[in-house]
Structure 1
Amino acid sequence: MKTRDETLGMWLGVLGVAIFAVTLPMTRLATGTQAAPQLSPWFVTLGRAALAGVLSVIFLLATRSPRPQRVHWKPLGMAVLGNAIGYPLLLAYALRVVSASHAAVITALLPLVTAACAAWVLHQRARLGFWLCAIAGSALVVAFSVLRAQSHGSGFGFEWADVLLVGAVVAASLGYIYGAQVTPALGAERVICWVCAMALPVTLPGTLLLWPAQPVAASAWVGFVYVGVFSMWMGFFAWYRGLAMGGALRVSQTQLLQPFLSILAAVPLLGEPLDVVTLGFAAAVVATVVAGKKLSQPRAPLVAAAASR
């Protein structure tokens, strides 16, 4: 039963990552480009959390969910700071200075940092082989991001914005882990609902203040609704439950697939090309995730191994 739960948790993690992966092209649809701007990036950031917060309040009232106990407020508060406020705000400030490809190099380390936070906060342990696979997978993603940055003529050098990007990665990772910490007690759905509802005092006024005064294309509103309903809300239903069932340390490594799934989603949504190099790196990253899952299992006791001979 435990193995079955861990496998289901891994698949739920993949589903959550797939939902999060579409966030990038959908956000591009929502914000538009410099030549054809649509919704303000700040409006999209605060508005998606506010939309998720309103849906969360409806869900909590409809299901007559009990209020979290006192012991749950700290993890929920950390998840608010990490996932609803810290990550998007730090990322937005950093992207005023560096390119998106530069930011991708740093944020590609999210799975490894999440695993480290799981080991620190939740005291989850894994064999050395798992950590080697995690490092190898992260190195593949970073190498891929660097190659793409160079092919687009963007260099990679240290800037003060890198500190903000590292802070964004740490904020998101801590938010994931603290949310997973209270998932067994509250349930995955209620965790993200309480997180979004708690952020409403900040996100709702901000959304109303930044409401667009100019006409916006229908495709931009479609992108906005997606990032509010799926990226900020429903995706966490699967993600938090996957972290809790499969182990946050192991399931976090499915995030290695997110950059590549984003590229795949951008093909039909934005018309971006798909190349063989991308597919090759994606296959290699998948291999590290599979190997890491196998190596995360504890060794069989020597007594049991001897008895089975």
Structure 2
Amino acid sequence: AKRLVERDKVFIMMGHLGTPTTKAIKEYLEERQVPNIFPATLASLWATSGKWHVGDLATYADQTWLIIDYLVKERKLTKIASFYQDDEYGLDGHLAGKARLKQYGLDYIAEVDYKRADIDFSSQAAKLKESGAEAVILQAVYREPPRLAEQCHAIGYDPLFIGPSPIVLDKTIELGGKHVEGVIGVEVYPLPTDPGPFMDQYRADMQKYFPNLALDTTNLYGYQKAALFVELLQRTGRDLTRETLLQTVTTIKDWDPGWGLKYSYGGDDRRVMSRSARLVIVKDGKWTKMTDWFEVEEAKR
């Protein structure tokens, strides 16, 4: 970050990856008064970190509240476990889920963590099976759920697996095959195959500039960030400074780039541009829509 800011003189930071990594440069960017726009992490941290930070999509905490509501209200489940990455990312959703369960008079029946470098989840699988959990919330990314599911199935344990948007990647299915069939995820922006003029433009641009890359949620994730940033630039006009750009952020209300979801500035106490989400499920080897879009409730930890 120092090299980008002090040597390369970047105007803003945008789309940089990971909750622990972005959190590590938070104070530095504030000191240098460099806007941190739409980082590639949906940590709830960015909703309340002040004027130099703006998130774009429903947070991991928001998504986890949605998951809890679905499991308790729709599926009538009470034995719910958490499998979470032991860092800022995993704890964000894990703690939000714990808070939401408390509102229902419940708690996790098991809390099982792992380290990012872990590849063997046999002990976690055994603990989850022993707990009798009916559902396991996956506060993970694409690598771990397939392996955990495989090792659970190997010991005759087949709970409902469900997780936030970082698991909704084609790579999850590629790695997991039959073991991730039926896994449910929260989606906060459309699938690459969804209809709409914005999606048509995305597919055309991918064909033009990256014809050898598959259409997937990872490149679409970056594309939607760029589209939102371009909208900010156009609205700001020629009087472009860091301050005027951040002021423009506050003017976004019900902006639809052409895919059916609307962006609105959430206010100074919630500096996030969207609370839209829906549930998807792995069906016949593909992520498939389960529900329509709706606005999720703002979560607390």
TM bucket (normalised to shorter chain) is: under 0.3
- Pick the structure with more strand per residue: 2
TM-score normalised according to structure 1 size: 0.25
Superposition TM-score, scaled by structure 2 size = 0.26
